[in-house]
Structure 1
Amino acid sequence: MADRKLLAGHAVRRLRRRAGLTQAAMAEALAISASYLNLIERNQRPISATLLIRLAETFDFDPRALAAAEPGGGVEAIRRRLADPMFADLDIDRNELEEWLAGAPGGAEAFARAFDSRGSGVGATDPADPIAAVRREIERWRGYFADLDTAAEALADELRMGAGDLYGAIAERLRVKHQLTIRVLPVDVMPDLLRRLDLHARQVQVSETLDSASRTFAAAFQLAQIEAKAEIDALAKGAGLADRAADRLFRRYLASYFAAGVMMPYARFLRACEATGYDLELLQRRFGAGFEQVAHRLTTLQRVGARGLPFFMVRIDRAGQSSKRFSGASGAALADAEGRCPLWRIHHAFDRPGSLAVQLVELEDGARWLTMARTVTPQGRRYGAVPVEFAVGLGVAAELGAGLAVARGVDLTGEATPIGLGCRACLRPACPQRSAPPMGRALLIDERERGVSAFTFGGD
């Protein structure tokens, strides 16, 4: 990702116009020639790392906004849309996409919006769905919120200086600074709730069913709602989510993001990741966090100048339905696709609860991913209640996985399991696991033959 050419002329042009500058004036401020700036704005030259830093310093903006502003989310996002079977016969390569985005950014953005409004296909969602709206906003930021993360890290350092016990330090800060006490209540008092703010009693009430990691998270979440309110308000306002439910859901996500940042402060967490080879169990123990909390945090490590590996994360139930999907900076179609392949071992995690299932997979476009999956059980579960279980899957591009603890003994250039993005989006012709033909392809029935797949389909 670091060496990817960034063609963002349209974004630079908008930045210049917002500043009310001519090309000559902006070029002078950036210490470059006006002709060079003109080439950048026409997407005939990429933005260098040096110029990107100079833009950020001179015009006080987040460099990630350039990538986030790419038409349709950029090349990788457009490629995921073109993975829909209806485009299978077009064979559009990456160079064509880059030329399209560079030459007709407005047309690419229009295509993306029209495709997404269909409400079907690979990675497409209902634009009126508040959950989908929030996810789009999270992915627009590549999963990383710089101001929020910096504030969380500063608070974590302050709490750490005061006490070695993070939960105790947060509880003390809530009590002294905000006149809120944490009270752990019996399950019969809070049978259907895990956390509740009682302003009348000035209490943050948490269920006794929460483990230590979840109690710390609940306390940090409450602190986020108070002390990170300005940052959360600014991000929510910038998102411009008209739907009330979407706005509230996004604010809840941001408070959770802050809480995770307090529990796993960016710099310390990244150092620990790199020192341990992203060892998930060690990271859990070192930061007093749960598996799912660590997994999600791994998708957010995109600070400029201190990036972690670009992981994606999904969480599914036994029926294969996803309740969380974060592609972060990975550009992973596995996170964006609505369907999943049964040959991907994220489904096998349910067979061995608590054990990590590691697998090297290869998609139809040749992309190879090192994936790992493990089951998690939601907090608040009681004996005799309905059993609830999810599988959390993580993945990183295979070429980046050599230093991972889970990659020891795995030949990342060797044989990989061929998988798709769900049967309706997969064009692999002889898959014995296939449960439906791909969309847009005619189903062929031959009474004289029976192949290994129950469904044979036509070409274009």
Structure 2
Amino acid sequence: MADPKLFAGHAIRRLRRQLGLNQVTMAQALAVSPSYLNLVERNQRPISATLMLRLAQSYDFDPRQLAASEPGGGAEALRRRLADPIFADLEIDRHQMEEWLAGAPGGAEAFARAYDRIGGGAGPVARPYDAGWQVRREIERWRNHFGDLDAKAEALADELRIAAGDLYGAMAERLRVKHQLSVRILPADVMPDLTKRLDLHARQIQLSEMLDMSGRSFALGELLAQEARGEIDALVKGAGFDRAAERLYRRHLGGYFAAAVMMPYARFLRACEASGYDLELLQRRFGASFSQVAHRLTTLQRVGARGLPFFLLRVDRAGQVSKRYAGASASPLAEGPGTCPLWNIFEAFARPDELLTQLLELEDGSRWFTLARGVRPQGVSRGVPARFAVGLGVSANDARTLAVAAGHDLAGRAMPVGLGCRACTRPDCPQRSAPPAGRAMLVAERERGVSPIAFAGD
């Protein structure tokens, strides 16, 4: 799969200004023409691999900063914010968006920060300075791929494989020898409300017996993330969070490292491509749960070795979203203000042991192939009815390589869905529960349509 073109002229312009150079001087150092550099800075030309290499050689510049420093997360992230109904009358198209990013990257970043800070797009329960919102925005800024953590975890995984064939046993031994921490499995009645506890006085990692082996391995992997403390500290420092958001971000990065140890990047990607992204096979091969594999699929964005750009959404029975990762997919389904009941992710609660598939089409014409499955939180007693549904998806164009998509007509009829009734303007939806934001409800005395709620047009 071809890598997408990278437009990050704002980052080049900022570097040049920080160095006090004009375009002619920098162009000479990079062995390109000033006119070409000008086009790159204005996002009218993508940044080539050759140019990235020359930047790294000439200015000790880390090329990863190009993707990680896009104002507001880049054009797609800004487009998702502008999809909010309050901007519906502005009709800002993609060309205007690109001009905005090229001409006023600082203004685009300022808009994104202001919109995020007031809780825009997160619904009526959003709060200013919400830690979860801040952390999710930072994760999406990196497209949920942290190359330094992956490299560190991959090296550790190789060491553990050499030491023993049993990953869990190798991790426990690593913690015992290198960190002087022993592992103890405790009965559920001793840890009724906890799945993991670190007792530094006893130098013990205490795990609930309710955790399955994938959960136990993940818990030990999180503890081993202390071996990537330098990389994690650098990421946290770069985010500039307050204390609450910093702790939440560290937790995410620790979980990312744990998953990367269990599913090392290169081996996991090879297994994905060889199996057609067969989730059950991946679970068994890497000793991971469905949720762990699903999360890992959203992170495969290593330069030169990218996986399919999956997005992920986790919802409860009430439709509340507790996890969402758009990754490199830029899917509105992962970032929209609401969810659509016509998406079969909600059927997963009634059919928890099945992997459900569906072809969706949004109002903008984009088509997405999705997979959904019910999951139970780790460590929860069978008597507690806690359950979530995890939805994964990729563009229909990318789904052709999926084993589970075999036999599906990806160019055929798709289920028309929206991003929640308040953001959806489909007039004939039989599932509608509210008119779109900014549209007046219409009540006719002599007729009634397929949709239970009619509304005024533009």
TM range (shorter): over 0.9
Could you tell me how far 1:331 is from its partner in structure 2? 0.4
Give the distance between the partners of 2:276 and 2:54, measured in 1 at CA. 33
Q: CA separation in 2, counterparts of 1:127 and 1:69?
A: 23
* 1:308 and 2:307 matched: yes
Flag the 1:123–1:147 CA change in 2: closer, same or farther, 3 A: farther
Partner of 1:29, secondary structure, is helix
Q: In structure 2, how many angstroms separate the alpha carbons of the residues matched to 1:365 and 1:426?
A: 11
Correspondence 1:161 to 2:162: yes
Distance 2:163 2:59 in 1: 37
Q: Which 10-residue stretch deviates more, 418-427 or 112-121?
A: 112-121
CA distance in 2: counterparts of 1:260 and 1:5, whole angstroms: 28
Residues in 1 aligned to 2:174 and 2:5: alpha-carbon distance in whole angstroms: 46
Would the aligned equivalents of 1:345 and 1:357 in 2 still touch at CA under 8 Å? Answer: yes
1:117 & 1:177 partners in 2: Cα distance? Answer: 42
**CA deviation map 1:407-453 (0-9, x unaligned):** 10001111100000011110000100001111111111122221111
Equivalent residue in structure 1 for 2:429, among 425, 428, 431: 431
Aligned to 1:79: 79
* 2:171 is aligned with 1:170: yes
**Cα 1:157–1:21 shift into 2, 3 Å:** farther
Structure 1 residue 83: deviation in Å? 1.9
Q: Which residue of 2 aligns with 1:341?
A: 340
**2:197 and 2:308 mapped to 1: Cα distance?**
36
Note the 1:338-417 alignment, pairs <5 A.
338-384=337-383, 386-417=384-415
Counterpart Cα distance in 1 of 2:152 and 2:123: 32
**Cα deviation, residue 292, structure 1:** 0.3
* Structure 2 spans left out of the alignment, 5+ residues: none
Match of 1:294 in 2: 293
1:21-79 deviation per Cα after TM superposition (whole angstroms, max 9, x unaligned): 44344323322233422332233433223223332454444434223323322221122
**Alpha carbons 1:220, 1:259 under 8 Å: kept:** yes
Q: Which residue in the other structure is 1:136 paired with?
A: 137
State the partner residue of 1:236.
236
Give matches, 1:187-202, under 5 Å: 187-202=188-203
Check whether the contact 1:183–1:205 (CA below 8 A) recurs between aligned residues. yes
SS at match of 2:344: coil
**Alignment partner of 1:116 is 2:151:** no
Counterparts in 2 of 1:449 and 1:114: CA distance versus 1, 3 Å: farther
Post-superposition offset of 1:123: 8.2
Contact 1:320 1:340 in 2 (8 A): yes
Shifted more, 422-431 versus 27-36: the winner is 27-36
- Greater shift after overlay, 45-54 or 369-378? 45-54
The answer to whether the Cα contact below 8 Å between 1:7 and 1:102 also exists between their aligned partners in 2 is: no
1:245 alignment counterpart: 244
The sequence identity of aligned pairs, in percent, is 71
Distance change (3 Å), C-alpha of 1:178 and 1:6: closer
* Equivalent residues, number: 457
Amino acid at match of 2:260: G
Counterpart Cα distance in 1 of 2:363 and 2:63:
33
SS at 2:223's partner residue? helix
- One-letter amino acid of the structure 1 residue matched with residue 370 of structure 2: T
* Other-structure match for 1:97: 97
CA 1:118 to 1:202, structure 2 compared with 1: closer, same or farther past 3 Å? closer
SS in 1 for 2:345: coil
Q: Which moved more, 1:261-270 or 1:187-196?
A: 187-196
Partner of 1:273: 272
Give the deviation of 1:108 after TM superposition.
3.0
Whether the aligned pair in 2 keeps the contact of 1:376 and 1:389 (CA below 8 Å) is yes
Q: Is the 8 A contact 2:298 2:326 kept in 1?
A: yes
Question: 1:177 deviation in Å?
Answer: 1.1
TM-score after normalising by structure 2 = 0.95
1:267-321 residue CA offsets vs partner (Å, 9 max, x unmatched): 0000000000000000000000000000000000001111111000011110111
Are 1:299 and 1:327, in contact at CA under 8 Å, matched by a contact in 2? yes
CA distances 1:168-226 after superposition (whole Å, capped 9, x unpaired): 111111111111111111111111111111111111110111000111111111111x2
Picking from 437, 445, 451, the partner of 2:443 is 445
Distance 2:214 2:314 in 1: 19
1:353 partner SS: coil
Given that 1:442 and 1:458 are in contact with CA atoms closer than 8 Å, whether structure 2 keeps it comes out as yes
* 1:366-398: CA deviation from partner (whole Å, max 9, x where unpaired): 1100000001111212243x2110000000010
Q: CA RMSD in A?
A: 1.9
1:223-280 C-alpha deviation (Å, 9 max, x unpaired): 11x21111111111111102x1111010011111000000000000000000000000
Stretch moving more, 118-127 or 282-291: 118-127
SS of structure 2 residue aligned to 1:373 = strand
Distance 1:34 1:362 in 2: 44
Q: Deviations over 1:92-120 (max 9, x none)?
A: 43233223322333343343334334434
Counting only pairs closer than 5 Å after superposition, residues 145-160 of structure 1 correspond to structure 2 as 145-160=146-161
2:3 and 2:304 in contact (8 A); partners too: no
The residue identity in structure 1 corresponding to 2:171 is I
Alpha-carbon distance in 1 for matches of 2:83, 2:357 = 25
* SS of match in other structure, 1:289: coil
SS in 2 for 1:347: helix
Are the equivalent residues in 1 in contact too, given 2:41–2:102 (CA < 8 A)? Answer: no
Secondary structure, aligned partner of 1:67: helix
Moved more, 363-372 or 14-23: 14-23
SS of the aligned residue for 1:292 comes to: helix
Match of 1:203 in 2: 204
| Cα distance in structure 2, aligned partners of 1:92 and 1:20 | 34
Structure 1 runs not aligned, ≥5 long: none
**Residues 152 and 5 (structure 1), Cα distance of their counterparts in 2 relative to 1, 3 Å cut:** closer
Distance 1:183 1:78 in 2: 47
